[in-house]
Structure 1
């Protein structure tokens, strides 16, 4: 095998190794009617899927006990609100709709 060919083979093998060791963080979705919230271990967002005038938000607790909420913010325009990094690990979350109620709590396995 020529030196050039060995170099190409080594680069290809290194590239395959790099690709195979990458990890994607799991996203967990929880629905309430047509509305939903998605969470990873450290980020969360909300989606308002109903044009009914009721705002939608994701409610969450971190593993350190801190509580927070993230609103969809753009109404039922067909797009979710932006991902919000929450500064800690999300222990559980739910999706809520103003004047209607909330889903049950979901423990975040991420």
Structure 2
């Protein structure tokens, strides 16, 4: 009986640890919007979300601490999911969401 109780307690602690990691990871990302489109960035990676079925691609325009500049495209159209995370290893200082042929939202500083 003691073994069962120990196993149950260990399982509950392990699950609590996993939930804590997931919460910490998602809480560390900053999300911004441009219309129904979105962009999200952590300290070193970004990803884009195309929330409009209008034929325009969506990307996140990123500037980094080392002076770099790159874009991260949604890449999967307006399918209701974020595109893949991407980065160049440098800390992201500011980013914005853009839609090709329509423009961009304002830059947001990344804390």
Q: Name the SS for the 1:24 alignment partner.
A: helix
Normalised by the length of structure 2, the TM-score is 0.77
Matches of 2:44 and 2:55, distance apart in 1? 29
Aligned 8 A contact 1:91 1:108 in 2 = yes
Structure 2 stretches of 5 or more lacking a match? 1-5
Q: Report the RMSD for the aligned CA atoms in angstroms.
A: 2.3
Q: Aligned residue for 2:69?
A: 67
Q: Aligned residue for 1:92?
A: 94
1:15-94 residue pairs with structure 2 within 5 A? Answer: 24-25=24-25, 26-94=28-96
Give every structure 1 segment of 4 or more consecutive aligned residues whose post-TM-superposition deviation is greater than 2 Å.
22-25
Q: Aligned residue for 2:3?
A: none
Matches of 1:85 and 1:69, distance apart in 2? 9
Give 1:85 deviation, angstroms: 3.0
Normalised by the length of structure 1, the TM-score is 0.78
Structure 1 residues 76-102: Cα deviation after superposition (integer angstroms, max 9, x where no partner)? 011110111321100000000011110
